[in-house]
Structure 1
Amino acid sequence: MTAWAHSLIRISNYEVETLQKRLAEITARRASAEMRIAVLDAEVEIEREQSRGDADAAMLLQAYLSGWKMRRSAALTEVQTLDLEEEGARDALTGAFEELKKFEHVAETTRLNAIVAAGKRETAAFDELGLRRRAG
């Protein structure tokens, strides 16, 4: 493999690895945001259950629900934003993989062409040697 092909493949591999790490980080952040939503949903059910048997808790429930709706809405917005970010990261990773495969294909084609050219040179040298022996 030529030096330029090796360099291009190495750079492309680095880009793919970087994008894979970015995608993993985005996925972890999205999972964390989804977990916050699940916890908020569980907490609101607990508050609603407690308010059924306690008059003081029932009076405070509306204020709690108002704050809960804002926190849940913020978490949902974060999940939606992360979904878009994840989609973009996946597209970038797909593009990087495609570029890597193109470079690997070009490098392999170049290598095979070099082998064919070397074979042709060797055959030509043997042909020339044969002609010299006949003439000589």
Structure 2
Amino acid sequence: MTAWAQSLIRISNYEVETLQKRLAEITARRASAEMRLAVLDAEAEVERERARHDTESGLLLQAYLMGWKARKGAAETDLHDLDLEEEGARDALTGAFEELKKFEHVAETTRLNAILAAGRRETAAFDELGLRRRAV
């Protein structure tokens, strides 16, 4: 394999690895955002239950729920943004894999063409040698 092909493949592998790490980081952030939503829902349920048994808590429930809705909206927006970021990262990773495969294919084709060319040169040399022997 030629040096330029090795360099292209090495660079492509690095890009694929970088994008895989980015996707893993986005996935971790997404899991954290989903957990935050689950915690918010659980907290709201606890407050609703408390309001059923305590009249003072019942009076404060509406104010709590307004704040809860704002926090939940922000968390849902973050989750939506992470979904879009994850989709973009997956597309970029797919593109990087495709580029890597193209470079590997070109390198392999170049290697096979070199082998074929060497075989043709060897055959031509043997043919020439045979013609010289016959001419003598």
Aligned to 2:19: 19
Letter of the 1:48 counterpart:
R
**2-structure distance, mates of 1:80, 1:43:** 22
State the TM-score, normalizing by the size of structure 2: 0.98
Aligned to 2:129: 129
Is residue 62 of structure 2 the alignment partner of residue 59 of structure 1? no
State the TM-score, normalizing by the size of structure 1: 0.98
Aligned to 2:109: 109
Aligned to 1:96: 96
Runs of 4+ in 1 over 6 A off after TM superposition: none
**2-structure distance, mates of 1:118, 1:64:** 80
**Superposed counterparts of 1:36-47, under 5 Å:** 36-47=36-47
Aligned to 1:6: 6
Aligned to 2:33: 33
**2-structure distance, mates of 1:7, 1:113:** 19
TM-aligned CA deviation for residue 133 of structure 1: 1.3
TM-aligned CA deviation for residue 132 of structure 1: 1.3
**Is there any run of 5+ residues in structure 1 with no aligned partner, and where?**
none
TM-aligned CA deviation for residue 89 of structure 1: 0.5
**2-structure distance, mates of 1:126, 1:11:** 41
Q: 1:67-120 CA distances to partner (integer Å, 9 max, x unpaired)?
A: 111110000000000000011101101110110000000000000000000000
How many corresponding residue pairs?
136
**Superposed counterparts of 1:80-91, under 5 Å:** 80-91=80-91
**2-structure distance, mates of 1:53, 1:5:** 72
